[in-house]
Chains A and B, each alone.
Chain A
């Protein structure tokens, strides 16, 4: 069986950044992704990114993706596409990664393996939620920005995190109307500047509201909203009916951790980061030796933090492979931590910082 120094599952910003660090250190690294094109979420992000200048803030997501891809090509990283990974098995030589390619089962051993599989969108259940026209916000975003198809004309968005706000904006740019953005919590979850964009376009934001039901024969026709009290109970008499053909759900992400469970990683439960998270240490290494996690799988955050975590796991794996001395690795890792900690400050970042600290404490306590 083929054996390389490192195998990375998932070619999003985290996986690509990890591969770049390992290749830079001189390691042989293979990235495996189930899609036909690497880049993960980045290629549907047509907006200019936040973050610092080092994270190419102000640059559109897909341009960041193109840049990462170029770097991997220049460094000779091998990328296997259209290849879903379905299994991880411990092996005396490392970890065996099983995947499908061209209809055939294949496997490769990585001395070190990094899981950068990202996260999946959460669903929401209400009467009518199975009607055609109800979809994830990320799904709508893929339709408009990758496939160039408008999912509908009149959209109701549920969820006021940055995903709900940004996708609402992009739906309007694509020519749809966003009639309302509904948020169950008493305040807006995402950045005010993103909310400001859709407000300027005339979209109302209803905080303390949810969807009561969706009506329609064969597809979404009407959407009934209702106000919620502080205990998230519906307030009778506050219903309002809107005519719409599309409902987009943006109520959070759950890390795609199946492979980590399979490999026998220990988990902890942190709602703020998306639920069950594989416990990992400062090097992003899980409780399974030689198996690392990076990006949304290690707690759903942002592309900027995903790239930094990717770099961190890559440097740590390279160090474990003896491609870096402990001293060099220490300097490189400290640089990453400085940038990452800066991203996790402020009223939005602080909570994630605290959650990540809690995670690291769990890792230490568990050993």
Chain B
């Protein structure tokens, strides 16, 4: 097991280097002048050259990459052009917020998706199944931001139960796990949970239906297990795949929430990316993408390891 883990970790090193290179290149080849956002329109060529030199944009790209990567390894992602603050600090704060939101959304999605999927799979082709299946298709196909806006209209404008935007009372401030703060998280989390809910519901439904059709369920009945006992077996059989799907969904949510975070002004990586793109803040953009990509790779690793430990049939070789 230890060897398996070590090998898996070693495998991720080249992946990470490749990912970093790709992040860098992607941003580097995108058109536009990186300094456009802070230079006054009438700035002299002299000033422009000076700033280019200061940020290192005048050196060849591979040199820029090497310096950037070497610093990134030490936790230094450079300075944001727009705000002048260290990119690492900005990204980490945003990552914290996004992680919170993504975990909450995945949790909601997993709980309800798992429940729907289970019921649908257990009572396949009944009306419960049809409703659950229709809901999950709807969940996957409805646009995120649209749903977010509808929820805001219903719960914030009409009912005035929940705040529409932000991540806490009074604009900024530290996050705390109390109702005053959590209520800000509910609407964006529910909005984001809809896709994983639909996907998990469909996965679990297929899994449960497939497991129940297997001969060993007859075997379990034949030895006298009640429905509850059989339920436990179904859960254990479905768990590895369901958890893997959940992990991947979490990964998608970590990076894929630009629209939702913008709709709800949630100060996460999505909002950060959004502003970095519009302000042409190259160091911030590169840093954010790199951190997100790293998360994705690590999460994939965790999912693989988890699945391997849960399912005895997967060989650890």
A associates with B? no
